[in-house]
Amino acid sequence: MSVVSTNDRIRFRIRLVAILLIPVAVALAVRLYFVQIVAHEYYLDKARDTYTTTRVTSGKRGEIFDVHGNLLVSNIPSVNITADPSHIKNSGSRRRLAYLLAREFPETSYEDFFRKLAPTRRKRISANDPNPDGSGFRTVPNTYAMIARDVSLEKAARLKALARVNKFRCLFFKDSYKRIYPKGSLLSNVLGFTNIVDDNDVAQTGLEKFFDEQMTAQFGRETYERDRSGRPLLYGPHISQEARDGRNIYLTISEPIQSILEEELDVTFREWKPKTLYAALVDPKTGNVLAMAQRPTFDPNDRSTYTNEAGRPRIAEDGIEPGSIIKPFTIGKALDWGYVTPETEIDCDRGTWIYLGKPLRDSHPYDKLTVAGVIQKSSNIGTAKIAMLLGEEKVYEALRMFGFGQKTNLPFRTETAGYLPRVPKWDGLSITRFPIGYGVRVSPLQMLRAYCALANNGKLPQLRLVDRLEDPATGVVEQIPVKPPVQLFEHPECHRQLIDMMTLVTKKGGTAARAALPGYEVAGKTGTSRKYIPGRGYASGKYFSSFVGFVPARNPAFVMLVTVDEPHGAYYASTVAAPTFKRVAERVLRHMNIPPDPALLPENNRTRTNP
């Protein structure tokens, strides 16, 4: 029997261990090769994720200014405060934090904050998730709660200090901006507003929505390596893409003129208590809208004041039967095309004219009026008979060339084109009704544009509400060009004759003597039209009362429209709308430093009359 020595046993064991370890070593080497060589980038990226962070920054939404740079819509720095309730240690800490937050934000109760800070929440589950209790929900950790938005920097700093002292590590403070409207309700129907949706400013209405793409800021990203406490390391890669502010919008609106208009509309609104009231001023040479307002209105800083009727831009959306303010366009082209002269006499049938079995009436029983008298006295019968001299095609051409039935293309997505049907859709009465403002629908903006042609030597301008856009980062300005106007009158002397007739409207014996301004010639036209209710016909006692005019008549600084919808106490435009025009015009002319003509002042007229 052979004897195995101790040394042999040791050698055997060594060989056995070696045999067993060699595969392990080979496997380890293969694994190390895979980790270090083959999958090096994968594991490097995974490691970087633990010490690399990305911070998203946001720029400011573009601001809105008037033509002179007065701020209308802005942003102020603020802080959004959120919480991760899963980081709250116990119920006692939860109660203390809820109490602290309720003290800082008294508009929210302690109970509400306590519920927000619950450690768990119920989450709706998908069809593929297990649903042990059959409720359609499961309990998950509560990792997000909105505490407060748009908190002032001072208040946020105070709360952050309190959280540090009390060791509340569950609160998070994110820099943001709050959209504000420094002038309150001024121009609010035009400017519109934004709402917070998923922590973002989302445009809802008005210019905010129309120019949302241009004004929306671009997010920035900053990627860097950090230490265990989250502080950026001084070494290592640091990639930064700066946030970019949205573009600023400069309007053609003049804030001082806008303020004047709104102040005077408030006076008219209180006096006549209408359903709606709107007015606007336009520079007829450039088409620049200088001011635009309506009542009722709202304050975008206080959304409790908002209603659909107060918020939508009705001056662009509403189509109304304008009444007599449309008369100058058919009569003007009848002059221009040579069908009549200012002295042509029209038989007004003593105030009642029967055509196709239907009566057409004037407010007073006129016998014969010249064409100039038809304008001055606002004769429906005289205007209808002039239109019949032209014929249907010419009447349609005249109204169409002044822009009726077409949008003005101002930046209102919901602007109406009005209603001016083509001649094949007319009935026998249309030729006697359309030229006096019945049976057609016109927006106040369309009427303003048309009157700009009368005020601008017969040239129809393109209306403008936006003057320029500015990139705040580069200072580059994109100017919105003024398009050349379209000449509508073939004979300049006929246009001058029409203006002469329209100045008679605001003089003694005209329908708008209350729109007259001492020292200035005012050209204009009143319009009082019965209100048509779809499905019910013309409503009894409901009227649109309008006045449109320009001053000084021979070289107008502006065209102004005032329309009062369903005034109470009186309804004739000469009583309701014309005085508003006068009050606004007096103040705007002073603001523009346009002095009165001494020869037109009453005292000088009396001196000449009584030497």
The CATH number given to whatever domain includes residue 156 is 3.30.70
Indicate whether 260 belongs to any domain: yes
Secondary structure (3-state) at 533: strand
Residue 607 has pLDDT above 60, yes or no: no
Secondary structure (3-state) at 13: helix
pLDDT of residue 25: 79
Indicate whether 242 belongs to any domain: no
Do 331 and 434 lie in one domain? The reply is: yes
Chain mean pLDDT for the chain: 89
Listed residue (217, 255, 201) closest to 62, CA to CA: 217
318-330 pLDDT, tens per residue? Answer: 999 999 999 999 9
Indicate whether 222 belongs to any domain: no
Mean pLDDT, range 128-142, rounded to an integer: 67
pLDDT of residue 128: 60
Q: 35 pLDDT band (50/70/90 cuts)?
A: low
Indicate whether 193 belongs to any domain: no
Do 292 and 157 lie in one domain? The reply is: no
Q: 224 pLDDT band (50/70/90 cuts)?
A: low
Q: How do strand 137-141 and strand 200-203 relate by DSSP bridges?
A: unpaired
Q: What is the largest CA-CA distance in the chain?
A: 165
Residue 68 has pLDDT above 60, yes or no: yes
Do 175 and 322 lie in one domain? The reply is: no
176-207 pLDDT, tens per residue? Answer: 889 999 999 999 999 999 988 876 778 899 99
Q: 1 pLDDT band (50/70/90 cuts)?
A: very low
Residue 65 has pLDDT above 50, yes or no: yes
Could you tell me if residue 58 is left (phi over 0), alpha (psi between -120 and 50 degrees) or otherwise beta? beta
Residue 232 has pLDDT above 70, yes or no: no
Residue 289 has pLDDT above 90, yes or no: yes
Tokens 């998070």 — which residue?
Answer: 172
Residue 271 has pLDDT above 60, yes or no: yes
Mean pLDDT, range 444-471, rounded to an integer: 97
- CATH number of the domain that residue 338 is part of: 3.40.710.10
Indicate whether 4 belongs to any domain: no
- Check if the beta carbon of residue 232 is closer than 8 Å to that of residue 263: no
pLDDT of residue 198: 74
pLDDT higher at 402 or 14? 402
Contact residues for 141 (Cβ-Cβ < 8 A; gap 6+): 86, 119, 120, 121
Do 540 and 410 lie in one domain? The reply is: yes
Do 439 and 573 lie in one domain? The reply is: yes
Indicate whether 55 belongs to any domain: no
Listed residue (54, 63, 55, 56) closest to 201, CA to CA: 63
Q: 233 pLDDT band (50/70/90 cuts)?
A: low
Q: Cα–chain-centroid distance for residue 456?
A: 28
Give the pair of three-digit tokens for residue 323: 């009444």
Do 153 and 290 lie in one domain? The reply is: no
- Provide the CB-side half-sphere exposure for 589 (13 A, CA): 24
pLDDT of residue 197: 80
Q: 610 pLDDT band (50/70/90 cuts)?
A: very low
Indicate whether 563 belongs to any domain: yes
pLDDT of residue 243: 76
Give the pair of three-digit tokens for residue 608: 């000449």
Q: Buried b / exposed e across 318-355, counting CB within 10 Å, b at 16+?
A: bebbbbbbbbbbbbbbbbbbebbebebebebbebebeb
Mean pLDDT, range 439-468, rounded to an integer: 97
Range of the domain at 387: 255-302+312-609
End residue of a domain, out of 140, 159, 183: 183
Tokens 């393109």 — which residue?
Answer: 462
Residue 46 has pLDDT above 70, yes or no: no
Mean pLDDT, range 45-69, rounded to an integer: 78
Tokens 């079995």 — which residue?
Answer: 357
Q: How many domains does the chain have?
A: 2
Secondary structure element (H or E) that encloses residue 276, with its range = strand 276-282
Sign of CA dihedral 266, 272, 275, 281: negative
Residue 519 has pLDDT above 90, yes or no: yes
- Check if the beta carbon of residue 328 is closer than 8 Å to that of residue 502: yes
Q: What percent of the chain has pLDDT over 90?
A: 71
End residue of a domain, out of 140, 155, 183: 183
SS3 labels along 547-611: EEEEECCCCCCEEEEEEEECCCCCCCHHHHCHHHHHHHHHHHHHHCCCCCCHHHCHHHHHHHHCC
Mean pLDDT, range 430-441, rounded to an integer: 96
358-387 pLDDT, tens per residue? Answer: 999 998 999 999 999 999 999 999 999 999
Mean pLDDT, range 439-461, rounded to an integer: 97
DSSP state of 324: G
Residue 58 has pLDDT above 80, yes or no: no
Residue 2 has pLDDT above 60, yes or no: no
Q: Which of 27-41, 59-73, 296-310, 380-394 has the lowest mean pLDDT?
A: 27-41
Could you tell me if residue 350 is left (phi over 0), alpha (psi between -120 and 50 degrees) or otherwise beta? left
Secondary structure element (H or E) that encloses residue 289, with its range = strand 289-295
Secondary structure (3-state) at 256: helix
586-602 pLDDT, tens per residue? Answer: 999 999 999 999 988 87
Give the pair of three-digit tokens for residue 535: 């499905």
Secondary structure element (H or E) that encloses residue 466, with its range = strand 466-470
Listed residue (115, 348, 264) closest to 580, CA to CA: 264
Do 475 and 579 lie in one domain? The reply is: yes
Mean pLDDT, range 35-59, rounded to an integer: 66
pLDDT of residue 498: 97
Indicate whether 532 belongs to any domain: yes
Do 159 and 260 lie in one domain? The reply is: no
d(CA 233, CA 231): 6
Q: Output the pTM of the full model.
A: 0.85
d(CA 2, CA 154): 95
Residue 611 has pLDDT above 50, yes or no: no
Nearest 10 degrees: Cα torsion 435, 437, 438, 441: 110
End residue of a domain, out of 155, 183, 211: 183
Mean pLDDT, range 264-278, rounded to an integer: 96
- Check if the beta carbon of residue 326 is closer than 8 Å to that of residue 435: yes
pLDDT of residue 105: 94
- Provide the CB-side half-sphere exposure for 177 (13 A, CA): 21
Do 428 and 286 lie in one domain? The reply is: yes
Secondary structure (3-state) at 11: helix
Do 472 and 603 lie in one domain? The reply is: yes
